[in-house]
């Protein structure tokens, strides 16, 4: 894929939560956020994300741990069969195999765990938590991660839904007009195929970040994804890379990323956002700082290239923010506190 189509590709991939919100019930809140703890947030502002933070907040409301709340919330999003970007029903790689990435970080104990290219398990974030709590490692990948999960009783399942399988089959048929997938040539009209590669497919990347501060002031976060749709088998994105797709510092706050993982890995974006918050920037400012940092890097190489990241951040006071790359839909996040659910609208940076 050249730069231009890649750029379009990622722009098209953003905004799942925002699009879904249009049909939701909660109303958006703009701009300044006042801190309130305990709090849990997710970039998934759709109905599932709203349900996730509401249910997970019940743990925080009882004085429970941020770590338990983020796992609970993420699991709800991971098992949603309609969500083609995370967990069960996530879009597969180029071989038609769903490979999931997830990371978890517990600020209270300065611990982290992650899994990458994990197949067959609907809730990779819970496997990541076991890596964090039951081993001295941080990251397990592929078949080793699957064996590890099964040793703890996780059930290996087909992660494809009818919806994700149909998207995949359509992508495979449309991939190359000269190959043999699709109707026989004698039944195909000359210019039939094969509209745009991704026509009709809602989005091609997408991830969930769930971040929380509990009533003790402890902070935890999870990032979970099926990664880039149609990726080269074995490709690992930013989501399981601590410091890239997720970072938590118990003295400062937490940050998570969605979008083009390759940029997020190169920029260590979540670590950067938390470092910015440590230096006094608000979560909103820190997310925008990270976007600017990435844009500045590309400016020197290809000034026209605009990648497609979105960041969410939460600080220890319970303030939050989110921002996406220029030209994208304004990002939204679902935020649950003792005052109820709010849909927060961030900024499409520079737009």
Residues forming contacts to ligand GLY in the complex (CB under 6 A) are 205, 207, 225, 227-228, 237-239, 258-261
Instruction: DSSP letter for 242, please.
Output: B
The smaller minimum CB distance to ligand GLY, of residues 33 and 258, is found at 258
The least CB distance from residue 210 to ligand GLY, in Å, is 14
Tell me if 304 sits within 8 A of 286, measured CB to CB: no
The least CB distance from residue 90 to ligand GLY, in Å, is 10
The smaller minimum CB distance to ligand GLY, of residues 36 and 97, is found at 97
The whole-angstrom separation of Cα 351 and Cα 339 is: 31
Which string of b and e fits 136-168 if b means at least 16 CB within 10 Å?
eebbbbeeebbebbeeeebeeeebbbeebeebb
Catalytic residue flag (residue 207): yes
The smaller minimum CB distance to ligand GLY, of residues 3 and 109, is found at 3
From the list 33, 48, 74, 207, the catalytic residue is 207
The smaller minimum CB distance to ligand GLY, of residues 258 and 282, is found at 258
3-state secondary structure of 61: helix
* Residue 104 token pair: 């978890």
The least CB distance from residue 260 to ligand GLY, in Å, is 6
The least CB distance from residue 309 to ligand GLY, in Å, is 8
The least CB distance from residue 32 to ligand GLY, in Å, is 28
Q: Is residue 253 packed enough to be buried (19+ CB in 10 Å), middle (13-18) or exposed (0-12)?
A: buried
Which string of b and e fits 259-294 if b means at least 16 CB within 10 Å?
bbbebbbebbbbbbbbbbbeeebbbbbbbbbbbeeb
Which string of b and e fits 97-120 if b means at least 16 CB within 10 Å?
ebbbbbbbbbbbeebbbbbbbbbb
The least CB distance from residue 243 to ligand GLY, in Å, is 14
Nearest to 40 by CA among 347, 244, 334: 334
The whole-angstrom separation of Cα 260 and Cα 294 is: 12
3-state secondary structure of 340: strand
Tell me if 259 sits within 8 A of 14, measured CB to CB: yes
The smaller minimum CB distance to ligand GLY, of residues 124 and 259, is found at 259
Distance, first Cα to last Cα, the chain = 26
The verdict on whether omega for the bond into residue 38 sits within 30 degrees of 0, i.e. cis, is: yes
Tell me if 209 sits within 8 A of 52, measured CB to CB: no
The smaller minimum CB distance to ligand GLY, of residues 227 and 318, is found at 227
Residues with a known catalytic role: 207
């Amino acid at each position: 894929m050249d730069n231009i189509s890649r750029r379009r590709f990622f722009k098209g991939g953003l905004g799942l939560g925002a699009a879904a919100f249009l049909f939701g019930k909660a109303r958006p809140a703009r701009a300044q956020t006042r801190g309130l703890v305990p709090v849990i947030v997710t970039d998934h502002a759709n109905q599932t994300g709203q349900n996730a933070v509401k249910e997970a907040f019940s743990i925080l409301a009882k004085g429970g741990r941020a770590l338990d709340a983020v796992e609970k919330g993420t699991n709800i999003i991971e098992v949603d069969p309609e969500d083609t970007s995370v967990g069960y029903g996530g879009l597969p790689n180029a071989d038609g195999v769903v490979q999931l990435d997830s990371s978890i970080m517990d600020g209270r104990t300065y611990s982290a765990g992650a899994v990458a290219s994990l197949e067959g398990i609907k809730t990779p974030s819970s496997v990541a938590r076991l890596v964090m709590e039951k081993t001295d490692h941080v990251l397990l990948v592929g078949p080793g991660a699957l064996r590890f999960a099964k040793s703890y009783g996780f059930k290996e399942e087909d992660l494809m839904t009818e919806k994700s399988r149909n998207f995949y089959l359509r992508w495979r048929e449309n991939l190359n007009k000269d190959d043999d997938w699709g109707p026989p040539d004698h039944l195909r009209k000359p210019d039939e195929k094969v509209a745009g590669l991704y026509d009709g497919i809602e989005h091609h990347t997408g991830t969930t970040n769930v971040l929380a501060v509990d009533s003790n002031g402890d902070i935890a976060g999870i990032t979970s994804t099926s990664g880039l749709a149609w990726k080269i088998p074995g490709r690992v994105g930013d989501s399981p890379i601590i410091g890239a797709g997720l970072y938590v510092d118990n003295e400062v706050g937490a940050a998570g990323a969605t979008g083009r993982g390759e940029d997020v890995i190169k920029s260590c974006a979540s670590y950067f956002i938390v470092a910015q918050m440590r230096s006094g920037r608000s979560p909103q400012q820190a997310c925008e700082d990270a976007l600017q940092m990435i844009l500045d890097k590309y400016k020197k190489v290809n000034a026209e290239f605009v990648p497609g990241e979105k960041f969410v951040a939460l600080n220890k006071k319970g303030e939050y923010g989110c921002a996406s790359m220029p030209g994208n839909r304004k990002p939204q996040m679902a935020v649950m506190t003792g005052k109820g659910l709010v849909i927060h609208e961030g900024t499409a940076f520079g737009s």
